[in-house]
Chains A and B, each alone.
Chain A
Amino acid sequence: MIKEIFRIILLSVLVNNYVLTKFLGICPFLGVSKKTDQALGMGAAVTFVMLLATAVTHPIYYYVLKTFKLEYMQTIVFILVIASLVQLVEIILKKYIPALHKSLGIYLPLITTNCAVLGICANNIKDGYGFINAMASALGCGLGFLLAMLLFAGVRSRIESSDPPKCFRGVPITLVSAAIVALSFSGFAGIIETLFA
């Protein structure tokens, strides 16, 4: 049980990293990774929302949609639930824990319609994970996102001071360096089989 959870977390942090190997959540990855503290805040917010969204959508799918044979409504229901949930959390944070809202809450609206969050909910259903495993997978994906953001924030601070050709300045050079970071993550490909053989 513990081993399985650990395996799922490690799998989604390193091997199936959402940003660098599955291409989910690229916009915040490239948009908010300029400063380390912003990257940290965004990563933490994404992890939090992923956990929250999985905790809500997973029971909804199995106890509501499946019971009433409404599986085809998955996409509509999930996006609405996630969007309203995030708004709700933002309002609550703003009212009761303003300090946390200041450091984490400002990123919440950005994540409402983030494909990584909807993606994790849909993928958990597709993989047939139970509730505990789904939560582990959400945690792993969130941490993987955080890790990728932090690593890339470091890389970007070096790009800022470099001098690429004019047409490569800005977005293109950022993408090319993301390619190199992604390349390093592909080195983790066989790690799970070796560790949990």
Chain B
Amino acid sequence: MMKVWKNLFKGLVRENPVLVLLLGTCPTLAMSQSVSNALGMGLAATAVLICSNFVISLLRNVIPDKVRIPCYIVVIAAFVTVVEMLMHAFLPSLYDALGTFLSLIVVNCIILGRAEMYASKNGVFDSVIDAVGMGLGFTLALFCMATVREVFGAGTFMGIDVPVIKSFTVPILKEASGGFFVFGVLIALVNKLFKREPKKEFSCAGCPSAAFCSLKREDSSCEGKESEGV
């Protein structure tokens, strides 16, 4: 039981996919302008991650090693399409707000990364738990970033005005450059709080292309960046 909890919570803090493993940066930056969009994006990705980890873990002995990446992509793309259609039908406003980024969940490195790094090697139950933890970690990171950007950038929280701050907003935080800035500061904060050795580079561990990336072979800058404890 202890192991299950540990597995679940590692995604939230110790191995947070966004702030520690530095995966899925694109949706994090793009969808953190408002808290409600961030939550929608996070939960949509979590749903896809849980389903894909479940199916890939079930099929892990069936999928031939050489064509595993295309197989994973098909599974993930199928679930993304399902989520896309459900959201279009039941949450049309969120569907419009997420726009292309909803279909871009397919190429979100968190999902492919977990399929490659975890679901392809572990049992079904463990993989689902891992997916829940990682998905919630992604949502949590998005939520933190969106809170900062929305409260200080627009003076609102989930569309509701925040008193006092409303009159002293920093609109640039809502712009593209504010996204980069808040993300950088947030990572620095996590480094400071947890006294982590700061990461020098973006990790290749979760990159779906890492297996056949020739840059990795030629340039040793990618080596030794595997996430610990997996």
Question: Are A27 and B85 in contact, with the CB atoms below 8 A?
Answer: no
Contacts of B29 in A (CB 8 A): 23, 26
- B169 interfacial by beta-carbon distance below 8 Å: no
CA distance A30 to B28 in the complex (A): 14
CA distance A108 to B70 in the complex (A): 16
Q: Mark B65-109, 1 if CB is under 8 A from A, else 0.
A: 000011001100110110011000000000000011001101111
* Most chain A CB inside 10 Å of its own CB: which residue of B26, B70, B191, B212: B26
Majority SS of interface residues in chain B? helix
Question: Are A126 and B198 in contact, with the CB atoms below 8 A?
Answer: no
- A66 interfacial by beta-carbon distance below 8 Å: no
Question: Are B25 and A30 in contact, with the CB atoms below 8 A?
Answer: yes
Partner of B70, one of A26, A83, A106, A119: A83
CA distance A61 to B219 in the complex (A): 38
- B213 interfacial by beta-carbon distance below 8 Å: yes
Contacts of A36 in B (CB 8 A): none
Query: Interface size bucket, B side?
Result: 35 or more
The count of residues in chain A whose C-beta lies closer than 8 Å to any C-beta of chain B is: 54
- A109 interfacial by beta-carbon distance below 8 Å: yes
* CB-contacts of A63-113 with B (<8 A): 72-76, 79-80, 83-84, 105-107, 109-110, 112-113
CA distance A115 to B184 in the complex (A): 21
Contacts of A27 in B (CB 8 A): 25-26, 109, 202, 207
Contacts of A32 in B (CB 8 A): 215
Q: List residues of B whose CB falls within 8 A of some A CB.
A: 22, 25-27, 29-30, 69-70, 73-74, 77-78, 80-81, 84-85, 99-100, 103-104, 106-109, 112, 172, 175-181, 183-185, 187-189, 191-192, 198-202, 204, 207-209, 212-215, 218, 221
Q: List residues of A whose CB falls within 8 A of some B CB.
A: 20-27, 30-32, 34, 72-76, 79-80, 83-84, 105-107, 109-110, 112-115, 118-119, 122-123, 126, 165-176, 178-180, 182-183, 185-186
